[in-house]
Amino acid sequence: MKMIENKIDAHATHSALVRGLVSFAKKQWIWAYFAAGATYFVTLLVVPTGGGAGALLYAALTFASFAVIVGVGQMFVVTLGPGNVDLSIPATMTLAGTLALKFMDTDSSLVVPGILIAIGVGLACGLFNFSLILVLRIPPIIATLSSSFLFQSLAIWSNRGLRIKPPEVLANFSTGGFGGVPNVAIIAVLVSIVGWFVLERAIAGRWISAVGQNQRAARLAGVPVNAVRLGVYTGCAVLAGLTGFILACFSGGANLNMGTEYMLMSIAVVVIGGSSIAGGNSNVPGIWGAALFMFLIVSMLNSYGLGAGVRLMLTGLIIVSVVALASRTGRRP
Amino acid sequence: MNREHLRALLPFMSLAILLAAVFYMQPRAMSYFGLNLLFNLAIPVALATVAQMMILMINDIDLSIGTFVSFCACVTATFVQSDPVIGYAILAGAILVYAGMGAIIHVRKLPAIVVTLGMSFFWAGMAILILPSPGGSAPDWLRTMMTAKTPFLPVAIIAPIIIGLSMHYFVKRSALGVLLRGVGGNEQAIERSGWSVLRLKAVAYGIAGLLCVLSGMALVGLATSADANIALRYTLLSIAGVILGGGEFTGGRVSPIGAVVGALTLTLAASFLSFLHLSSDWQIGAQGAILILVLAARLIFTRREATI
């Protein structure tokens, strides 16, 4: 009797393991990690120094973190369905970083109000974006695009291109690490965990996905569609503001085009990470894989000593190939 | 007048209001040369905008137009000027790549937004390889053509009219145009009635590529030289132009003449702001504000119509 029970037990765990492996391999986001891992090893092959492996991982974690924080925000926006993309992320980052650093003016005692200002700027930008979308019924791509022009002008006007240094404490914190892990990566992990919880475990996440799959059906089912969209757009802008703040401290000051690359980056990490650009079906873990991959690609091409032109070309080709290989036909509804 | 008419008229009205404001502030602009100066740079923008329209028409979006037009401009200012045969071969090859991109997006069911983002890196890299630092020069015939002194109306007015009318004929009147709009409206219906959606999408991307090549060439003709970042703004300008002109993101609902008018409006907005002597800090912001205003006006018209 006991033996049979054991056998059934073993059988159950075995099939559970197989099922687990199969469902694991079916996950879109696995591909991003494969790509990142492969790039990591290829890069190591050409990095001459002995301590290369650890240093490369540390750098990758640091730079991927910025992409992850904005990526989580962008992911929620993309989940809302076709046509939902936030193009104002770079401008929001710049504006938040600029205003917060200008307020603190290298004074370490003003750190907390500084962070609050960055978050407040993000909140205001998100509210403005969503009011354009809701009240003026402007398509989100165009709404966030036009508002990004306004945010950018505000940033230019407020600091006139001067670089304002961050307070000592923040500069040390953002470039430092804890137990071999960069501080910014710890923040990014926390943001991802909260993002994952909201998306997968909270009612809000179900609502967001429902709106993305069919807005009309969601509304009829009693989902507060506009409140959900408001939350997503402001949440995304707040994360952008926060990233702008940390990035400004990390790079020794806010400057006007510090956010530029994150427009593309935020969209790329979401899609390479396996979230559906058509909305309604997103995941958080893939964002990390994709962000690491994007950074490692650039550092791999750098370590081969290629010129800027070839580097850009190869980056483009690799992104397109990864997306083409990782996608499965019939994924788009 | 029904809603459709008002919708179609709105782009023209925004352009007229903006033009009236410019003439009011700078009466001397109301001349052959004034108009030419105001709308000069509108020609490449209009071409890029109708290229974007071809893509939006089949429910995709192209985020690589800015870097692709820059690439075409670099090729025009270097190879087309020195070795025309190689130059045109490169441009023809680039158009084929565009068509191939459309085919791959369809076959692998990829999100166009990501593929074109990736390709924007590719074109930027190619442009830097061809022209590492700003320079090059326009082929003579191109320069002559873009600065020609045509009777009565300047080139800057004639060219957009030709672009708008010929695209209108192609998209709204020709059989191929109807099919392409059909792909945007209902892809399955087109597929089931025996057409190859794959081929149609490749054709749409190919035509968009051709229009971008023309845009890059026109830009070099006007600017006389090129650099790898010369047209980066065109990605966003072209999307905004199509939407200003009454186009939609989905469903194959586009208006070629509207798109050209949208491009003219955006170009004029920039000139208008420089006439205002606005501090350069606010130039970009004011452009965003004008965009929001025009789109808000579109809403008022639709609403008023709805309440009647």
Q: What is the 3-state secondary structure (H, E, C) of A274-311?
A: CCCCCCCCCCCHHHHHHHHHHHHHHHHHHHCCCCHHHH
Which amino acid, one-letter code, is at B53?
Answer: M
Question: Is A232 within a domain?
Answer: yes
Asked if B121 and A319 come within 8 Å (Cβ–Cβ), the reply is yes
DSSP-derived secondary structure for A174-209: HH-EETTEEHHHHHHHHHHHHHHIIIIISHHHHHHH
Give A78→chain B minimum CA distance, Å. Answer: 12
B296 touches chain A (CB under 8 A): yes
Interface subset of B 162-201, CB within 8 angstroms of A: none
Whole-number pLDDT of residue A330? 41
Question: Is A27 within a domain?
Answer: no
B132 touches chain A (CB under 8 A): yes
Asked if B118 and A85 come within 8 Å (Cβ–Cβ), the reply is no
Interface subset of B 263-282, CB within 8 angstroms of A: 279, 281-282
Interface subset of A 252-271, CB within 8 angstroms of B: 264, 267-268, 271
Residue A320 has φ and ψ, to the nearest 5°, of -60, -45
Residue B135 has φ and ψ, to the nearest 5°, of 165, -145
The residues with which B135 forms a beta bridge, in sequence order, are B226
- The DSSP H or E segment spanning B148 is none
pLDDT in tens, B175-196: 999 999 999 989 999 999 999 9
Give B49→chain A minimum CA distance, Å. Answer: 14
A161 touches chain B (CB under 8 A): no
Domains assigned to chain B: 3-307 (1.10.3470)
- CA dist A308 and B125 (Å) reads 7
Per-residue pLDDT at B308 exceeds 80: no
Question: Is A315 within a domain?
Answer: no
- Work out the number of other CB atoms within 10 angstroms of the CB of residue B99: 20
The residue of chain A nearest to residue B297, with distances taken between CA atoms, is: A136
pTM for the full model? 0.83
Of B104, B123, B291, the CB nearest to A146: B291
Please give the C-alpha separations between residue B1 and each of A67, B13, B14, B246, in angstroms, as whole numbers. Answer: 50, 15, 18, 17
Interface subset of A 79-108, CB within 8 angstroms of B: 82-83, 85, 87
* Percent of chain B that is helix, strand, coil (3-state, to 5): 80, 0, 20
A32 touches chain B (CB under 8 A): no
ipTM over 0.90: no
What mean pLDDT is predicted for residues A157-168? Answer: 79
Question: Is A234 within a domain?
Answer: yes
| Cβ proximity of B154 and B220 under 8 Å | no
pLDDT in tens, A102-149: 888 888 888 899 999 999 999 999 999 999 999 988 889 889 988 998
pLDDT in tens, B153-167: 888 889 999 999 999
- CA dist A254 and A262 (Å) reads 15
High-pLDDT (> 90) share of chain A, %: 42
Which residues of chain A have a CB within 8 Å of the CB of B119? Answer: 316, 320
Please give the residue range of the domain that contains residue A104: 65-264+274-282
Asked if B129 and A137 come within 8 Å (Cβ–Cβ), the reply is no
Question: Is A149 within a domain?
Answer: yes
Q: Which residue has the higher pLDDT, A163 or B144?
A: B144
Q: Band the pLDDT of A150: cuts 50, 70, 90.
A: very high
Which residues of chain B have a CB within 8 Å of the CB of A278? Answer: 111
Question: Is A121 within a domain?
Answer: yes
Query: Chain-wide mean pLDDT for chain A?
Result: 85
Of A152, A310, A317, the CB nearest to B285: A152
Q: Band the pLDDT of A331: cuts 50, 70, 90.
A: very low
Give B218→chain A minimum CA distance, Å. Answer: 24
Question: Is A239 within a domain?
Answer: yes
Of B111, B123, B132, the CB nearest to A271: B111
Best probe of the B interface among A77, A86, A145, A328, by most B CBs < 10 A, is: A145
Q: Which residues contact A117 (CB under 8 A, 6 or more apart)?
A: A96, A99, A100, A103
Q: CA neighbours within 13 Å on the CB side: how many for B72?
A: 33
CB pairs under 8 A between A and B: 143
Q: Which residue has the higher pLDDT, B40 or B238?
A: B238
Number of domains observed in the structure of chain A: 1
What mean pLDDT is predicted for residues A204-213? Answer: 92
Per-residue pLDDT at B279 exceeds 50: yes
Which residues of chain A have a CB within 8 Å of the CB of B285? Answer: 149-150, 152-154
A306 touches chain B (CB under 8 A): no
Question: Is A22 within a domain?
Answer: no
Whole-number pLDDT of residue B251? 78
Q: Band the pLDDT of A83: cuts 50, 70, 90.
A: confident
Asked if A323 and B111 come within 8 Å (Cβ–Cβ), the reply is yes
